[in-house]
A and B are shown apart, each in its own frame.
Chain A
Amino acid sequence: MSHPAPEQIRPERTGALEELTRDPSSRKRFLKLMGGGVGATSAFGLLLAACGGDDDSSGSAGGSTSSDTGTSTASSDASGDLEIVNYALTLEYLEADFYAKVIDSGLFKGAQLQLIKVIGDHEQQHVEALTATVDKLGGTPATKPKTKFPLDSAKSVIALAATVENLGAAAYLGQAGNIQSKEVLAAALSIHTVEARHASALNVLTGKSATPDGAFAKPASMEEVLPQVGPFIVS
């Protein structure tokens, strides 16, 4: 039992939150990893502040009216999107690295290996797209974390993959309502359903329901997701 069993990191596990409050180190580690975006976020905020004066013509709540409130709204919106995209990028780095290690492990062959390669390739494409999005938003992409995963048997690895994908889908769903830019939202939505497809396929392969939440998928907040991925991050 030197590593968490898959059951222990399932999204519905209630102990995860308790662990977060008891031991914030994994969260700190994760946030530090994403910290690369913070400096750039501030710079972006300054850029927006400089542009804020242009916006006098719009004039209602929700829009950015006076230069004071307007600027702070615009700036927090943009930094919010950057934080979310870098959060997603870190999750995708984890997933891509996981599948690369799974493929290297030699535990799989045939159709299952084929599926793992397809999924791993998707995660790598997500990494690239999200990195480009951070660049486009004027931020600094999160650093690729060093990871470790328990790769003992094909059975436990497939179960872990299913857990990771279900968590990933829940993580994207948890952020949908927080994204300000329609373009970023469109990208996130199109990745979200691919994570859902991965989760469904892996659930079926492990003998679980394709739709474990029933008719409505449950979202997961950053606070719920971070402690569950913490154990896989070395630095």
Chain B
Amino acid sequence: MNSQMTTTNLAAEELAAVEVAGMSRSSFLVKSALTVGAVYGTAAIGPFLGKALAQEGGGDVEILNFALTLEYLEADFYTQAQKLRLKPEVAKLAKEFGDQEAEHATALADTVTQLGGTPAEKPTFTFPMKDQASFLKLAQTLEDTGVSAYNGAGPAIKSKEVLAAAGSIVQIEGRHAAAIRLVNRDNPAPNAFDETLEMQAVLDAVQPFIKA
């Protein structure tokens, strides 16, 4: 994890230097790859470049399927929550937000198909919640994580259209997170800048909820 973080910061710095110098990102990648003696052999060019090329190379479908899996998880989470004994206003919120997550899942699956990919399959989920309080606590964590996941993946998206769709969805995740936080009497916006999470960190975080 630490080495990943370092790599990310390094990547951001190198990228900033590149753009100030007016070079395109692809030329930067080629030049950097040349300096270590391999243009396309990602295995040979070290973890940073391997990662950068992976993000550069046709990754929109992968990002969309990543987002799709998260939306499946959130939609299923709210569906399961509606079986709990919830106060009417909380039940209303679970239904409304759950329906919106389901709409996100449908839109993302359609986009993957449009791009010629195969939509990720819907996993089976299990959530540690037994009452309204545990539902609301986990909802806050999941929505905050969703925001960080989209924001972390956003800059790697190549297609403007896909980025616009992801932006339109992440704003809703942010709105959900804030609304749930208000119900929990927590600060709706805990930071001036929402944190970002890398894909792998998000997948690790949600792994306990995936049964199969």
On A, residues with C-beta under 8 Å from B are: 47-48, 51-52, 54-55, 57-58, 60, 62-64, 74-75, 78, 115, 118-119, 121-122, 125-126, 129, 136-138, 169, 173, 176-177, 180-183, 185-187, 189-194, 196-201, 203-204, 209-211, 213-219
When the two chains form their complex, are residues B175 and A211 in contact, meaning their CB atoms are under 8 A apart? yes
Bound form: Cα–Cα A176–B181 in Å: 26
Q: Is the CB of A216 within 8 A of B27?
A: no
Residues of B contacting A219 in the complex (Cβ-Cβ under 8 angstroms): 164, 167-168
- Taken together as a complex, chains A and B put the C-alpha atoms of A121 and B165 apart, in Å, by 29
A residues near B169, Cβ cutoff 8 Å: 215-217
When A and B form their complex, what is the total count of cross-chain residue pairs whose Cβ atoms lie within 8 Å? 194
**Smallest Cβ-Cβ distance to B191: which chain A residue:** A194
Q: Tell me the B159-175 residues at the A interface (CB within 8 Å).
A: 160-161, 163-165, 167-175
Q: Is the CB of B189 within 8 A of A201?
A: yes
- In the complex, the chain B residue whose C-beta lies closest to that of A205 is B182
B31 to chain A: which residues have CB within 8 Å?
57
Q: Give chain B nearest CB distance to A86 CB in angstroms.
A: 17
Complex CA distance for A191 and B25, rounded to whole angstroms: 24
Beta-carbon contact of A78 and B167 below 8 Å: no
The CA of A180 and the CA of B182, in the complex, are separated in Å by: 35
CB distance from B95 to the nearest CB of A (A): 13
> Which of B23, B156, B164, B192 has a CB less than 8 Å from the CB of A121?
B192
Residues of A within 8 A of B175 (CB): 196-197, 199-200, 203, 210-211, 217
Contact partner, B23, options A58, A60, A138, A186, Cβ 8 Å = A58
Contact indicator per residue, chain B 14-28, by CB within 8 Å of chain A (1) or not (0): 011001111111110
Contact status B172-A211, CB under 8 Å: yes
Bound CA span A129–B196, Å: 16
Q: Is the CB of A217 within 8 A of B168?
A: yes
Sample 30 A-B pairs with CB under 8 A, ordered by A number.
A55-B27, A57-B31, A62-B24, A63-B26, A115-B188, A137-B20, A173-B171, A176-B163, A176-B167, A177-B161, A177-B167, A181-B19, A183-B12, A185-B154, A185-B155, A187-B193, A190-B194, A191-B193, A192-B170, A192-B171, A198-B178, A200-B175, A200-B176, A200-B179, A201-B181, A211-B172, A213-B172, A215-B103, A215-B169, A219-B168
